Structure 1
Amino acid sequence: MKSAYERAMERFGQTEPLPTLTDEQKAELAAIADRFKAKIAERELFLNDLVAKAIAEGRYHEVPELKTQLAREVESLNGECETAKEKARSAFS
């Protein structure tokens, strides 16, 4: 009988277990994640401030556009983060 782990690996087409990362490699991936978390937080603060100003000034029509912009930027930064982490992982090999 196969374990849940083995079944999941088969489902994703992997027969070998994932490589074990060293502490240095884990730290590098964590640093990448932290850098992008900071970028996301910066954009959230900036755009949420613009939303608050728009509401305070009665420019309600701008709020959905600003929230959409925030969602796009967060999605883009998350994608960039994953790309940077994949690039680092490929360098580990």
Structure 2
Amino acid sequence: MKSAYELAMERLAKSDPSGSTPLTAEQKSRLGEIDRVYKGKLAEREIFLKKQLDEALAAQKFEDAEKIKQQLASERSRIEEDRDAEKERVRRGK
């Protein structure tokens, strides 16, 4: 007799058959490369913006500092979205 979890997993597999295909070694390698590239992009933007943030705080420009914090958050989100979209393309084989 199957557990409720096993039955749910079977239903899920039937509803999305492409989601259960195993990744090839090339796809795994490409996914790792995408992670490295986007981690580098994120680090580059964080370093640049944190330098600006430190300068704004040192000059007591609190409005500018708040804008920089918002920019940092939005760029982090954008980079993560771009990374996830590219990884999804690789998983789908495109």
Q: TM-score range by the shorter chain?
A: 0.7 to 0.9
Change (3 A) 1:68 1:23: same
- Greater helix fraction, Structure 1 or Structure 2: 2
Change (3 A) 1:61 1:21: same
Superposition deviation, residue 9 in structure 1: 5.7
Task: Provide TM-score, normalisation by structure 2.
Answer: 0.81
Q: Which digits, 9 at most, give the CA deviation of each residue in 1:6-45, with x for residues without a partner?
A: 5256358336761111222101111011111110111111
Matches within 5 A, 1:1-93: 1-2=2-3, 4=5, 6-8=7-9, 10=11, 13-14=15-16, 18-91=20-93
Identity %, equivalent residues: 27
Change (3 A) 1:57 1:9: farther
Task: Provide TM-score, normalisation by structure 1.
Answer: 0.81
Change (3 A) 1:61 1:16: closer
Give the alignment's Cα RMSD to 1 decimal. Answer: 2.3
Unaligned runs of 5+ in 1: none
Unaligned runs of 5+ in 2: none
Superposition deviation, residue 54 in structure 1: 0.4
- Segment drifting more, 50-59 vs 83-92: 83-92
Stretches (4+) displaced over 2 A: 1-6, 8-17
